[in-house]
Chains A and B, each alone.
Chain A
C-alpha cells in the first residue's frame, strides 16, 4: 500500500502560500500522492484548479481527487480540465469522481439533484470516449487517459465503477468498513469480467500535536461534516491523532487490500505535514 497526503484546501482560512508550500514539501516527502476534496458551497479551494497549481510545483507525486463531484460539471469541460492537468503534470492525474452528499451543492450549480446517479454513469463513459477519440485536447499522455476512480456507496455505485473506471475510492471509516466496501468493489469488478483487479483508494483525516491542536482538528471535522447530522461526532472520533493510531490504521487498510491511502489534514499548518512525513518515514513507509 502506498500513502499519500491531502492538501489543506478544504479547510477554511488556508492561505494560498500554504497550499504551494504544502505541495512542494509533499513532493519532497515520503508521499506517493497529493489529494484534494470537493465541496461547492463552502469556503474551500476548487479541487481541479488547485491540482493544476500543484502540478506546477511538483514533479513526482500523483495528483488525486478523492473525490470531485462529477455531476456538477459539464462532461466535456470536466474531460478537458482533467486531460489538461494530466498533460501539465506529465500523466500524474488520478481523477476520482462521485455524486457527493449535499443537495445544496447541486442547487448552487443549477443541476438536478435527483438525476445525479445517472448523470455520473453517463459522464464516465462520455469522458472516456472524449479522451480516446481526441475530441477534447490536449493530446493524451497515456493511451486511456487519466486514471479514473469512482466513489460512492450505493449498489449502483459499485456497478458503475466496475463498468467504466479503473478502481474505487472509499469515503472513510475504520478498516473493517473499508474491507466490506473493497469486497463489494472486487465482486462487482469480477462479475463485470474486467481483467485484473480494481485499484482501491481510500482517505482518512489526521491531526497531530498537543491536546489543544487535536481538539481544534476535531472541531474542524465536526464543522465540515455537520451536514451528516449526528454522524459528524462519529467521523470526528475517527480522526488519527497519534503515530500509534496512524500505524494501526495503515496496517488495517493494508490488510484489507487498499492500494493507496490519502491522509488529509484537519489543520492548515505545515507542521502537520512535517509530523506526518516524520511518522511515515519512521514506519518505513517512504515511497522515495
Chain B
C-alpha cells in the first residue's frame, strides 16, 4: 500500500513506524510542515499502563524512550501556604523533542520517507495514495477538507492557559494555586528531563485581563509568570517558546474515517491538558490503527475496526477531561476548603480516583485525610481515625454519631403508625449499628397533605402517640438520631400506592388538592386548587402544629420538604408557579410562601434542635428552576436558620427528570455545599463505603444516604 501521513508529531511518526514494521512492503511517506528540529511544547507524560503498551508495540523505540524517562510517583499540592504530598501515582515524563527524535530515527531506520518543512494546504497537491493518515493536529487541513463527512466540533474552554518550560527539576507532579491582586492562577508542572520541567499556567479570563496579560508581549508575560511563581521556582527561570495564552479547544469528531482517509490523535480528538493524556491517546491511536491494518485485509474493515476500538476509549477520557476542566474552571468554589480537603477534592475531581484508591496508593496521605476529617468533625486531636463516614456531625445541639443516613422506604406505612413492630422492615425496626441518622419517609402535616391514603401523617393525637412509641423504640435499640421528614403532597396527593405506579389518582375517595397554580401533575391528575391566602395560613399552621407534635414525639431533627413537585416546591419553580400576586413572579417572590412556612416552623422548633430542608435544586428543564436559583434559595434559607440541605433534583413535573445513575446527585451537592456554604445531605443511589468516603472527604456533602436494599443479597 502507498501510505501518506500528514503530520510528523508523535501520532504520525508512531503510526508510520508501526505499520512499516508490521509490513515492510508498504510505501510510507510522512509530511511535516515544520523542520526536523523545531518542536512546540516541553514535556509530555505517560502512565505506567501506556508505557506497557509501548513496550508491546515496538520494543526498540520503547527502550530508547524508557532510557530518557523521568519517573516519579508523587503529586504535590501547594495551596494557601500548605504543601501536601500524595504518593503512589506512577507517571513518566519525557521531553517532547527527545520523543520526536527517537521516533524520527526509528522511522528512517525502517525506511520511511520523512519530508520536513512541507506545508500541505490542498490535498490535491499530494501524489496518489491508497491510505491517507491525517495526524496533522487540531487544525488539520485533511479533516477540514472533508469536514462534512467527519463532522468535527470544537468547543473552546472558558479559562486561559499558557505552556511554558523552566530550567528547574521538580521532584513531583506539582499543582500550585496562587492568589494575587489580579485573581487566581493555577499551575500544573512536572519534570521531563534531568534539567527542565513543564509549567502550564491557567487562570480565568477576568484574572488574565486584570493582570494585563492580553496586551503583554512575550517577554512581559514571562516576567509576570516569573514573579508570580518566584517562590516555587526558587531562582530558576521560566522559558518561553513562542508561547501564547489561549483557550483550550476540545475537539470531538463524529466519524474518524472517510473512504481512504483516517484521523489520528489531536486531529480527531483533544482532551483537556489537566488529565495529561493528549500524546498518550495519540500514540495509542497509532497502535490501534497499525494492528487493525495488520489484522484486516480489507481497508474499510480495518478503518472501521480502528474507529470502533478507539472511539469509546477516547470518549471515556474526554468525559473525565471535561470533568477535570470544569473543576479548574470553577475552582473558586473550593477556595474555602482546608488544604487537606482541597487536595483530596483536586485528586478525585475526575471521578476516576476514589478514597480507596488514594488510601491504597499512599496510606500516609489517606490516614492524614481521615485524621483531619475526624479532628474537624469532633474538634479533638486524634492519633488514628476511622474513615470519614464514621466521623460525628454536629448541627446546633445535636450530635449525629456517623455520616450514614438510613432513609425509611416502607412504601406501605399506615396513616396512623401503630405498633413499631408492624409494617416496617427489619432494617428500620433496628437500624444497623453504624447508622447515624434515621430519616422517615415524607410524613404529612394534614390529611389533605398525604400522597396516598396510606402515607404516614402527624396531625392527630393517635399518630403523635404512635410516632412517640416508634422514636422511643429506635432509641432503645440504636445510637442513631431520628429526623422527621415533614411535608405536604400538594398536587401530587390523593394517589394510589406507589406499588401501582407513580402519581396515579385514586379510583374513588379523592380529596381536593392544593398547589401554587391550578395545573394537574399528569394528564390524568386532578386539577389542584390555586392556594389563596386563607389556604396558606392554614397550611402554615399545619406545619407549625406538626413541628410541635414532632417535638412531643421526641424527634431530633426536622426535615422540611421543598422538593419533587410537592406543595412547597410548586411555589419555587416557574414551571408550576404562574401566579401574578406577591407569591409568584421573580425567584424571591416564589420563595416567599415556603420561607414563611420555614420561619414559622423555625420559631416553634426548639432553638437547640436543627432544621434541614429537602430541595430539588434543578428542574432539569429549560425555563425551569436552576442550580443558580437553588444557590440563592440556599443562602436565604441559611440566613433564616436552616442548618442543612438535602440535595434532590427533578420531579417538579412529569417531564422533569435528572440523568439517573450511581451518585447522580453528587455534583449538585458539591455545587450547593461549596457555593452556598451550607452543609448538605445527599443520596442518589450510593451503595458502597468507598463512594460515601470519597464524597465526604472531598467536601461534596456532609451526610450520605446509603441504600440498604442490596444488603439482603
B498 pairs with A193, CB closer than 8 A = yes
Residue contact A230 to B304, C-beta cutoff 8 Å? yes
Could you tell me the distance between the alpha carbons of A156 and B503 in the complex, rounded to whole angstroms? 17
**B125 interfacial by beta-carbon distance below 8 Å:** no
CB of A267 to closest CB in B, whole Å: 24
Is A187 in contact with B500, judged by CB distance below 8 angstroms? Answer: no
Q: A259 CB to closest chain B CB, in angstroms?
A: 11
Stretch from B346-354, B407-415, B511-519 forming part of the interface with A: B407-415
Q: Chain A: which residue is nearest B662 at the CB level?
A: A183
Which of B215-223, B651-659, B695-703 lines the interface with chain A?
Answer: B651-659
Q: Is the CB of A122 within 8 A of B685?
A: no
B659 lies within 8 A of A155 (CB): yes
Known: A122-B523, A191-B651, A230-B304. A197 touches B660 (CB 8 A): no
Interface string of A116-128 (1 = CB under 8 A from B): 0000011001001
User: Would you call A125 and B504 a contact (CB within 8 A)?
Assistant: yes
Q: Across the interface, which residues of B come within 8 angstroms of A187, CB to CB?
A: 660-662, 664, 684-685
A154-188 interface code vs B (CB 8 A; 1 in, 0 out): 01101100111100000000000000100111111
Is A155 touching B412 in the complex (CB atoms < 8 A)?
no
- Residue B502 lies at the interface, judged by CB distance under 8 Å to chain A: yes
Q: B492-527: contact bitstring with A at CB < 8 Å (1 yes, 0 no)? A: 000001111111100100000000000000111000
Q: Which residues of B contact A137 (CB under 8 A)?
A: none
* A194 touching B499, Cβ below 8 Å: yes
CB contacts under 8 Å to B, within A213-231, are: 230-231
A158 to B654, CA, bound (A): 13
A103 at the interface (CB under 8 A from B): no
Q: Are A233 and B305 in contact (CB under 8 A)?
A: yes
Query: For residue B650, which residues in chain A have a CB less than 8 angstroms away from its CB?
Result: 159, 191
B651 — which chain A residues lie within 8 A by C-beta? 191-192
> Inside 8 A of A188's CB, which chain B residues have their CB?
657, 660
Q: Are the C-beta atoms of B685 and A190 separated by less than 8 Å?
A: yes
Q: Do residues A192 and B658 form an inter-chain contact, with CB atoms below 8 A?
A: no
State whether the Cβ of A110 lies closer than 8 Å to any Cβ in chain B. no
Provide the residues of chain A in CB contact with B502, threshold 8 Å: 162-164, 192-194
**Docked complex Cα distance between A184 and B685 (Å):** 9
Q: Which residues of B contact A162 (CB under 8 A)?
A: 502
The closest CB in chain A to the CB of B523 belongs to A122
Verify B660–A193 contact, CB threshold 8 A: no
Compute how far the CA of A188 lies from the CA of B502 in the bound complex, rounded to whole angstroms.
12
Answer yes or no: B139 CB below 8 A from chain A CBs.
no
Query: Which residue of chain B has its CB nearest to the CB of A162?
Result: B502
Mostly helix, strand, loop or mixed at chain B's interface? loop
B713 within 8 A of A: yes
* Interface residue A284 (Cβ < 8 Å from any Cβ of B): no
Interface contact A191-B308, CB-CB below 8 Å: no
**Chain A residues, CB < 8 A from B524:** 125, 129
Of chain B, the residue at the smallest CB distance from A193 is B498
Give how many A residues have a beta carbon under 8 Å from the other chain's beta carbons. 36
> Whole-angstrom distance between the alpha carbons of A190 and B685 in the complex?
8
Interface size class of B (residues with CB under 8 A): 35 or more
Q: Cβ of A125: which chain B residues have Cβ within 8 Å of it? A: 501, 504, 522, 524
B409–A191 touching, CB < 8 Å: no
Binary interface profile of B, 657-690, with partner A (CB < 8 Å = 1, else 0)?
1111110100000000000000000011100000
State the Cβ distance, A201 to closest chain B Cβ, in Å. 17
**In the bound complex, CA of A180 to CA of B312 (Å):** 15
Shortest CB distance B97–A (Å):
38
Q: Which of B307, B409, B661 contacts A193 (CB 8 A)?
A: B409
Question: Once the chains bind, are A195 and B412 in contact (CB under 8 Å)?
Answer: yes
Residues of A close to B661: CB separation below 8 A: 180, 183-184, 187
B174: min CB distance to chain A, Å: 35
Partner of A230, one of B307, B412, B662: B307
* Contact (Cβ within 8 A) A163 B654: yes
**Is B538 an interface residue, CB under 8 A from the partner?**
no
In the complex, which residues 246-289 of chain B have their Cβ closer than 8 Å to any Cβ of chain A? none
Residue numbers in B under 8 Å from A122 (CB-CB): 523
Interface flag for A90 (CB, 8 Å) = no
Q: Is A251 an interface residue (CB 8 A)?
A: no
| Residue among B307, B411, B498, B707 with max Cβ neighbours from chain A (10 Å) | B498
B409-435 interface bits toward A, Cβ cutoff 8 Å, 1 = contact, 0 = none: 111100000000000000000000000
Chain B positions within 8 Å of A129 at CB level? 504, 524
- For residue B422, give the distance in angstroms from its CB to the closest CB of chain A: 16
Is A252 positioned at the interface, with any CB of B under 8 Å from its CB? no
Q: Are B660 and A230 in contact, with the CB atoms below 8 A?
A: no
A102 at the interface (CB under 8 A from B): no
B709 at the interface (CB under 8 A from A): yes
Interface membership of chain A positions 96-137, coded 1 if the CB is closer than 8 angstroms to chain B and 0 otherwise: 000000000000000000000000011001001100110000
Report 6 cross-chain contacts, Cβ distance below 8 Å, ordered by A residue.
A122-B523, A125-B524, A132-B507, A162-B502, A164-B501, A190-B707
Please list the 7 inter-chain residue pairs (A to B) with the smallest Cβ-Cβ separation, ordered nearest first.
A195-B411, A187-B685, A159-B657, A188-B660, A187-B660, A155-B659, A163-B502
Q: What would 7 more interface pairs be, CB under 8 Å, given A133-B507, A191-B685, A233-B305?
A: A122-B523, A144-B500, A183-B685, A187-B662, A192-B651, A194-B411, A230-B308
